[in-house]
Structure 1
Amino acid sequence: MDRRTYVKTGAGVIAGGLFAGCTGGGSGGEATETSSGDSGSSTTESSDTEATTTESAVPSKVVIGSDIPYRPFEYETTSGELTGFDVDIAAAVFEDQLGIDYEFKPTSFDSIIPSLNNNNFRIIMSAMTINDQRAQEVDFSDPYFTAYQTVIVREGGSISSKADLQGQPIGVQKGTTGANAAEQLKEEFDGDLDLKKYDQISGAFQALINGQVNAIINDNTVNAEFANERDDVVFLEGEGAAAESGQEAPPYLTLTVENYGIAFRQDDDEFRERVNEALATIKDNGTYDEIYSEYFSG
Structure 2
Amino acid sequence: MDRRSYLKTVGGAGAAAAFAGCLGDGGNGNGEDGAETITIGSDIPYPPFEYRTEEGELVGFDVEIAEAVFAGELGYEYEFQETSFDGIIPSLNNGNFRVIMSAMTINDERAEEVDFSDPYFTAYQTVLVLDDGNITSKEDLKGTQVGVQKGTTGEAAAEGLQEEFDGDLTIESYDQITGAFDALLNNQVDAVINDNTVSAEFANENDEVVFLEGEGEAAAQGDDAPPYLTLTIEEYGIAFRQDDDEFRQEVNDALATIREDGTYDEIYNEYFAA
Q: What is the TM-score normalised by the length of structure 2?
A: 0.91
Q: Which residue in the other structure is 1:258 paired with?
A: 234
Q: 2:221 aligns with which of 217, 236, 245?
A: 245
Matched, 1:180 2:156: yes
SS at match of 2:243: coil
| Inter-partner Cα distance in structure 2 for 1:197 and 1:44 | 27
Matched, 1:128 2:129: no
Q: 2:177 aligns with which of 198, 201, 204?
A: 201
Q: Which residue in the other structure is 1:118 paired with?
A: 94
| Inter-partner Cα distance in structure 2 for 1:143 and 1:273 | 13
Q: Which residue in the other structure is 1:164 paired with?
A: 140
Q: Deviations over 1:198-235 (max 9, x none)?
A: 00100000000000001000000000000000111100
Q: 2:167 aligns with which of 183, 191, 194?
A: 191
Contact conserved, 2:154 with 2:195, CA < 8 A, in 1?
yes
Q: Which residue in the other structure is 2:264 paired with?
A: 288
Q: Which residues of 2 match residues 143-162 of structure 1 at below 5 A?
A: 143-162=119-138
Q: Which residue in the other structure is 1:3 paired with?
A: 4
Q: Which residue in the other structure is 1:68 paired with?
A: 44
Change in Cα spacing, 1:51 to 1:200, as seen in structure 2 (3 Å) is closer
Contact conserved, 2:28 with 2:98, CA < 8 A, in 1?
no
Q: Which has the higher helix share?
A: 1
Matched, 1:101 2:102: no
Q: What 5-or-longer segments of structure 2 have no aligned partner?
A: 9-14
Q: Which residue in the other structure is 1:16 paired with?
A: none
SS at match of 1:61: strand
Query: Partner amino acid for 1:291?
Result: I
Q: Deviations over 1:247-294 (max 9, x none)?
A: 111110000000000000002110000000000111111110110011
Q: Deviations over 1:98-135 (max 9, x none)?
A: 01100000000000000000000000000000000000
Change in Cα spacing, 1:66 to 1:237, as seen in structure 2 (3 Å) is same
Contact conserved, 1:36 with 1:104, CA < 8 A, in 2?
no
Contact conserved, 1:129 with 1:177, CA < 8 A, in 2?
yes
| Inter-partner Cα distance in structure 2 for 1:284 and 1:148 | 25
Change in Cα spacing, 1:106 to 1:46, as seen in structure 2 (3 Å) is closer
Contact conserved, 1:95 with 1:102, CA < 8 A, in 2?
yes
SS at match of 2:75: coil
| Inter-partner Cα distance in structure 1 for 2:84 and 2:243 | 24
Cα RMSD for the two superposed structures: 2.0
SS at match of 1:170: strand
Query: Partner amino acid for 1:286?
Result: G
Contact conserved, 1:149 with 1:181, CA < 8 A, in 2?
yes
Q: Deviations over 1:6-44 (max 9, x none)?
A: 447xxxxxxxxxxxxxxxxxxxxxxxxxx944xxx8944
Q: Which residue in the other structure is 1:138 paired with?
A: 114
Q: Which residue in the other structure is 1:17 paired with?
A: none
| Inter-partner Cα distance in structure 2 for 1:274 and 1:286 | 19
Tell me the number of residue pairs that the alignment of Structure 1 and Structure 2 aligns: 263
Change in Cα spacing, 1:110 to 1:261, as seen in structure 2 (3 Å) is same
Q: What is the TM-score normalised by the length of structure 1?
A: 0.84
Query: Partner amino acid for 2:185?
Result: I
SS at match of 2:256: helix
Contact conserved, 2:3 with 2:210, CA < 8 A, in 1?
no
Contact conserved, 2:145 with 2:191, CA < 8 A, in 1?
yes
| Inter-partner Cα distance in structure 2 for 1:45 and 1:179 | 28
- TM-aligned CA deviation for residue 47 of structure 1: 3.7
Change in Cα spacing, 1:46 to 1:165, as seen in structure 2 (3 Å) is closer
- TM-aligned CA deviation for residue 45 of structure 1: 6.2
- TM-aligned CA deviation for residue 3 of structure 1: 2.9
| Inter-partner Cα distance in structure 1 for 2:37 and 2:210 | 41
Query: Partner amino acid for 1:212?
Result: Q
Q: Which residue in the other structure is 1:273 paired with?
A: 249
